[in-house]
């Protein structure tokens, strides 16, 4: 009962705060006495804080308001991708407190070494968290492949060459850690740290060495029966196309993944420089990749029917050159049947979308179930 009411009040503060106790009572249907007690508990636990005087809605009476506090609880978001590691720290108000990225070719390392490097990055961030006086509610690791959140393992990440790696066991951090697919988390990152709920139902595409997508429907991630939904990179573009690391052939990844876009040795910023100089070869490469992306997205729209499509990952810096051919293909193939062809927009969550979504999903969990952070206050882990 108390756990549910604490979550009610915290959720109301999250969505609509700062709020007076009277407005909280209105919004939750609880009595003012109950609300005052619960707010007291939340303030004592460092999850909420007095916010000074505000006008109280329609009646215009000034009152003392309460809002979420970013001073005590935070969450750690981590990412292992093919060519980098990332960590970020987000507090309860979803303010981004720390971000760290570490470029490394994880394909050349055994999983245990890549994970040891991530532990080192995470430990640095945890030390900063301690300095900031923040206690960490938990961590989520974003991984480029289908994961099993129950075991903390990644089933198969073909672009890393990983198979059944028990990531959370090997990572062995002194706090609760789970794993999730990076494309899922990047979509949630866009929901919480990017364009947000104004997108309606949206498909967020993460262009990396692999291409993943996360579908957000009514503010929730569509995960599928086994958590493997949204594998846009393995949508078949041409059935007899080049073989793919997934075991199939002609997958989108082979036409529009990072390796297809960057000829050997070229970096992403090299490519952007050439595109800005209207280098014909670079423009053609993006037009071909964008057209293939448009074909896969035509299929995705036929199956998912989203309001909006958000392009993130490497497609964000390449947006002007990738999105035009993709949008044209989408329009040409869909406009007769669909009264409203989804628009393509560039991700606002940036390159840290996945670790931000990872940290955000821990914060979401704290807001949905704050009781553990009130009954037995967390101690700051000393890494």
Given the rule CB under 8 A, which of 106-114, 154-162, 172-180, 258-266 is the region that contacts a copy of itself? 154-162
CB of 25 to a copy of itself, least distance (A): 22
d(CA 310, CA 198): 12
Torsion of CA 139, 115, 169, 143, to 10 degrees: 60
Rank residues 56 and 231 by Cβ distance to a copy of itself and give the closer one.
231
CB of 303 to a copy of itself, least distance (A): 5
**Contacts of residue 55, Cβ cutoff 8 Å, sequence gap at least 6:** 61, 62, 63
d(CA 145, CA 163): 10
Rank residues 134 and 297 by Cβ distance to a copy of itself and give the closer one.
297
Cα-based angle 43, 46, 49 (whole degrees, multiple of 5): 50
CB of 339 to a copy of itself, least distance (A): 6
Question: Residue 236 pairs with which residues in a beta bridge?
Answer: 251
Determine which residue in the list 40, 200, 320, 377 makes contact with a copy of itself, applying CB under 8 A: 200
User: Is residue 307 within the footprint of a copy of itself (CB under 8 A)?
Assistant: yes
CB of 199 to a copy of itself, least distance (A): 10
User: Is residue 63 within the footprint of a copy of itself (CB under 8 A)?
Assistant: no
User: Is residue 166 within the footprint of a copy of itself (CB under 8 A)?
Assistant: no
Given the rule CB under 8 A, which of 112-120, 269-277, 304-312, 351-359 is the region that contacts a copy of itself? 304-312
Given the rule CB under 8 A, which of 30-38, 96-104, 230-238, 260-268 is the region that contacts a copy of itself? 230-238
d(CA 352, CA 188): 11
- Where does residue 240 rank: exposed (0-12), middle (13-18), buried (19+ CB within 10 A)? exposed
Contacts 24+ apart (CB under 8 A), 337-341: 338/301, 341/301
d(CA 92, CA 17): 13
User: Is residue 222 within the footprint of a copy of itself (CB under 8 A)?
Assistant: yes
How long is the chain? 383
Rank residues 238 and 324 by Cβ distance to a copy of itself and give the closer one.
238
Cα-based angle 317, 322, 323 (whole degrees, multiple of 5): 100
Q: Which of 360, 364, 353 is nearest to 81 (CA)?
A: 353
Q: What is the size of the binding site for a copy of itself (CB under 8 A)?
A: 49
CB of 8 to a copy of itself, least distance (A): 20
Rank residues 230 and 370 by Cβ distance to a copy of itself and give the closer one.
230
User: Is residue 151 within the footprint of a copy of itself (CB under 8 A)?
Assistant: no
Determine which residue in the list 20, 184, 298, 361 makes contact with a copy of itself, applying CB under 8 A: 298
Rank residues 230 and 290 by Cβ distance to a copy of itself and give the closer one.
230
Given the rule CB under 8 A, which of 136-144, 167-175, 227-235, 361-369 is the region that contacts a copy of itself? 227-235
Place of tokens 């690391």: 245
Compute CA 345 distance to the chain's CA centroid, rounded to the nearest angstrom. 17
d(CA 326, CA 288): 9
| Residue 321 near residue 283 (C-beta atoms within 8 A) | yes
User: Is residue 104 within the footprint of a copy of itself (CB under 8 A)?
Assistant: no
User: Is residue 59 within the footprint of a copy of itself (CB under 8 A)?
Assistant: no
Given the rule CB under 8 A, which of 77-85, 125-133, 231-239, 318-326 is the region that contacts a copy of itself? 231-239
Summarize as ranges the residues that interact with a copy of itself (CB under 8 A): 146, 155-156, 158, 200-201, 213, 217, 222-232, 234-239, 246-249, 295-296, 298-300, 302-307, 332-340
């Amino acid at each position: 009962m108390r756990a549910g009411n604490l979550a009610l009040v915290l959720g109301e503060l999250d969505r609509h705060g700062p709020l007076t106790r009277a407005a909280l009572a209105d919004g939750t249907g609880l009595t003012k006495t109950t609300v005052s007690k619960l707010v007291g508990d939340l303030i004592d636990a460092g999850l909420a804080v007095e916010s000074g005087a505000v006008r109280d809605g329609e009646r215009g009476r000034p009152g003392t308001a309460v809002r979420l506090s970013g001073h005590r609880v935070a969450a750690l978001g981590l990412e292992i991708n093919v060519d980098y590691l990332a960590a970020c720290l987000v507090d309860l108000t979803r303010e981004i407190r720390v971000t760290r990225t570490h470029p490394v070719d994880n394909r050349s390392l055994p999983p245990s070494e890549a994970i040891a490097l991530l532990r080192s990055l995470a430990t640095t961030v945890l030390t900063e968290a301690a300095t900031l006086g923040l206690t960490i509610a938990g961590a989520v690791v974003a991984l480029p492949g289908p994961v099993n959140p129950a075991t903390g393992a990644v089933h198969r990440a073909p672009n890393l060459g990983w198979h059944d790696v028990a990531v959370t066991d090997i990572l062995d951090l002194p706090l609760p850690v789970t794993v999730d697919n990076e494309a899922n988390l990047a979509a949630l990152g866009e929901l919480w740290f990017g364009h947000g709920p104004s997108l309606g139902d949206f498909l967020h595409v993460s262009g990396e060495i692999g291409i993943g997508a996360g579908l957000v429907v009514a503010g929730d991630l569509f995960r599928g029966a086994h958590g493997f939904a949204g594998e846009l990179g393995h949508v078949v573009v041409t059935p007899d196309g080049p073989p793919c690391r997934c075991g199939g052939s002609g997958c989108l990844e082979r036409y529009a993944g990072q390796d297809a876009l960057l000829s050997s040795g070229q970096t992403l910023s090299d490519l952007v420089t050439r595109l800005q100089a209207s280098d014909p070869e670079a423009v053609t490469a993006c037009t071909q990749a964008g057209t293939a992306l448009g074909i896969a997205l035509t299929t995705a729209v036929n199956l998912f029917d989203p309001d909006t499509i958000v392009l993130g990952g490497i497609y964000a810096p390449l947006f002007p050159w990738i999105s035009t051919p993709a949008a044209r293909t989408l329009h040409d193939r869909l406009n007769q049947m669909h009264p409203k062809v989804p628009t393509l927009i560039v991700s606002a969550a940036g390159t840290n979308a996945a670790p931000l979504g990872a940290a955000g999903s821990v914060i979401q969990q704290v807001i949905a179930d704050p009781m553990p952070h009130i009954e037995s206050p967390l101690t700051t882990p000393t890494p």
